[in-house]
Amino acid sequence: MSNLITLEEAFQKLKLGKTVFIDTCFVFGRPELGYEGYLQEHIPSAVYFHLDKDLSGPILTHGGRHPIPSKEEFARKLGEAGIDNDTHVIVYDNEAGNVAARCWWLLKYFGHKHVQMLNRPLSHWKEAGYPITNEIPSPDVKKYIAIPNELLTVSMENVRTHLHDKGRVLIDARKKKVYTGEENTKYPKIGHIPGALNYFWEVVLSKEGVFQEGEQQLKTFQAIPKEKEIIVYCGAGVTACPNILALTEAGYENVKLYVGSWGDWTSYENNLTECGESSL
C-alpha cells in the first residue's frame, strides 16, 4: 500500500464508511486558526488533531518544540477518534504534506500499518467538488495499542556521536536561506548541523501543490545513495516529515527523524553549527 492516496481514491473510501479521516490543518504562528477552519468545513466524518495539543508532547528545556507525545496519551487520542490498530486512516492538511506528514509519521512510529496521506491539500478536495461539512463527528471509542518503533528516530546524542559517519546522510528540510545562515530565526544559533544537505520540504510537491509520486521523488533525491542511513531534521520536527514520506515513497528504507531537530540541537551550547552549503 502506498503512503499516498488520491482524491478519488479517498472519496471512494469515504463512501464505504470504514476509514477514519484526520484533519490536521494548522497555521504556524496562529495555532488556533486550523481548528477554527475545521469547525467551519472539513471532509465528512473527519476528526481533528492539533499539532501542538495532539501531535506533540510537553515542551521541556531540551527536545525541541514538538516532542513525541507519550504512547499512552497518543493511544488514548487515537482510540477516542475511533481508531484501533486495524483501522484504515487517511490524514490531510491545508498544504498537502506539512502537518499531515507529521501525523502520518507518528502513526507509523506508534505501530500503525494502515495510514495514508491525501496527496493534495483540502482546498483541492473542495475545488474538485467533493463533499465538505461542518458537522462534528462522534466516533465510537476504540482501543489502540501503541508500540513505539525506536528505529524510526534518533536522539541528539546519536546525531552528535555520528556527525562525520560516512554511512549516514543528514538532511535539513528548512528553506535554503535559513539553512545557510543568511536568514536568522528565533533559535539561538544560525546555519545548520555540520555536514547536513539542504532539501527544503516543498521540493516534494509539484508546482500545483500535489505531493509527487515515488518516481519523481527518486529524481529529487537521486544524489543520495539508497544504502545510506538518512537522518532528516527541520526546525521543530514537523516539516522534516514530508521529506521522510517522500524518501519512503522513493524506495529509501533506512530513513529516520531527528525529532528535536534544530531547536533541540541549538539548545546545547557546545553543539557545533556551520553556515553556507554542504555536499556529499
Distance of CA 11 to the CA centre of its chain: 23
How many other C-beta atoms can be found within 10 angstroms of the C-beta atom of residue 42? Answer: 23
- Same domain for 155 and 192? yes
- Same domain for 135 and 10? yes
Q: What's the total number of domains in the chain?
A: 2
Is 277 part of any domain? no
- Contact between residue 268 and residue 155 where contact means Cβ atoms under 8 Å apart: no
- Same domain for 9 and 35? yes
**Domain carrying residue 244:** 151-265
Non-local CB neighbours of 58 within 8 Å, separated by 6+ positions:
67
- Per-residue pLDDT 10s for the chain (280 aa) are 799 999 999 999 999 999 999 999 999 889 899 999 999 999 999 999 999 999 999 999 999 999 999 999 999 999 999 999 999 999 999 988 899 999 999 999 999 999 999 999 999 999 999 999 999 999 999 999 999 999 999 999 999 999 989 999 999 999 999 999 999 888 999 999 999 999 999 999 999 999 999 999 999 999 999 999 999 999 999 999 999 999 999 999 999 999 999 999 999 999 999 999 988 7
- Same domain for 100 and 115? yes
Q: What is the CATH number for 188? A: 3.40.250.10
The order of strands in the sheet holding 115-118 is: 4-5, 115-118, 88-92, 19-23, 47-48
Domain boundary among 148, 177, 193: 148
Is 270 part of any domain? no
Cell 531537530: give the residue. 261
- Same domain for 16 and 137? yes
Non-local CB neighbours of 132 within 8 Å, separated by 6+ positions:
41, 42, 43, 44, 125, 126
- Contact between residue 246 and residue 166 where contact means Cβ atoms under 8 Å apart: no
Torsion-angle region of 19 (φ positive above 0: left; ψ -120 to 50: alpha; else: beta) = beta
- For residue 42, list its beta bridge partners: 133
- Same domain for 243 and 199? yes
